[in-house]
Amino acid sequence: MSDTWTIGIIGGSGLYQIDALEDTQWIRVNSPFGEVSDEILCGRIGEVQVRFLPRHGRGHRIPPSDVNARANIDALKRAGCTDLLAISSVGSLQEELPPGQFVVVDQFIDRTKTRSSSFFGTGMVAHVSMAEPVCERLSKIAAKAVKKAGGNVSKDATYLAMEGPQFSTRAESHLYREWGADIIGMTAMPEAKLAREAELPYALVGMVTDYDCWREDAAFVEVSEVIAQMNANGEIARKTVEAFVAALPKKRVASPLDTVLDFAMITSPDARDPETLAKLDAVAGRVL
């Protein structure tokens, strides 16, 4: 296992470029799991290799339900990533998380319905733990990076992942608050699950664009308002990425998340499907 960092940045709504990248080149990476959202922008910040993927594609052309998270994570693994930092625009379910706040996610509640949520299946079965779904090491660095970038940051948030593309009903918004969710978005699941299956430590920073519709005395969220706040958040997000990379230790010490598949594979070798195994060459080749 290499002791150098190659950081994959998954840019969500509001983060479509990284100004600090040097020696850049857009490279197409093919995946056996289908179409990747876009080419991957390869470059470096200082001595750290960075791979940037716009989650919705350049121009924000892919809606949340059509983002092929399997292909995206597989492609980032093929591009040499050791760790992932995801940036996402989110709605707030708590009064103390106003528009403009940045939130480092600790837990998820998955309410998505139509998305392929695993690389594994018939022919090769595996079960990874999602009890602690993010990388603590990356999350701590990310929180400090937001502060250095001039943003207000909260930690240990629970992210409710909904299907979309419509926003919540008021009844749903109240329900999610009762469940203990702090922010709501449409893209972090199954992205975080797939990162875990691919043995890629993952952290997520949410950028609050609006209050969800639980506030009885407030107007419903409008896309124009969300876009305006996204643009305001974007500059801090770009500076956060730069500060995050600069704060990484010079050498990457191995993470327990690098080897989660050692304890996850359940299909006996003589029952494994060769065609399925061939598709898993990047995400699970280490153990296959």
pLDDT tens, residue order, the chain (288 aa): 679 999 999 997 667 678 888 999 999 999 999 999 999 999 999 999 999 999 999 988 999 999 999 999 999 999 999 999 999 999 999 999 999 999 999 999 999 999 999 999 999 999 999 999 999 999 999 999 999 999 999 999 999 999 999 999 999 999 999 999 999 999 999 999 999 999 999 999 999 999 999 988 766 666 777 777 877 788 899 999 999 999 999 999 999 999 999 999 999 999 999 999 999 999 999 999
Kind plus residue range of the DSSP H or E element containing 75: helix 69-78
Assess if residue 285 is contained within a domain.
no
Token pair, residue 67, equals: 């983002």
Range list of H helices, 96-254? 136-148, 170-178, 188-197, 223-246
Tell me whether residue 189 is in a domain: yes
pTM of the model: 0.95
Instruction: Tell me the residue range of the domain where 50 lies.
Output: 6-279
**53 and 77 Cβ atoms separated by less than 8 Å:** no
End-to-end CA distance of the chain: 16
Domain CATH number, residue 49: 3.40.50.1580
Which residues touch 142 (CB under 8 Å, ≥6 apart)? 85, 104, 203, 205, 240, 244
Find the helix or strand (DSSP H, E) in which 71 lies: helix 69-78
Number of domains in the chain: 1
Say if 288 falls within a structural domain. Answer: no
pLDDT for position 19: 81
Q: Would residue 287 count as lying in a domain?
A: no
Residues taking part in catalysis: 210, 212
Is 34 part of a structural domain of the chain?
yes
Kindly report the CA angle at 250 between 75 and 155, in degrees rounded to 5? Answer: 70
Residues 6+ apart with CB under 8 A from 61: none
Q: What are phi and psi of 172, to 5 degrees?
A: -65, -45
The pLDDT, as a whole number, for residue 224 is 72
What distance lies between CA 264 and its chain's CA centroid? 22
| Conformation bin of residue 59: beta by default, left when phi > 0, alpha when psi is -120 to 50 | left
286 inside domain: no
How many Å apart are CA 267 and CA 128, to the nearest integer? 13
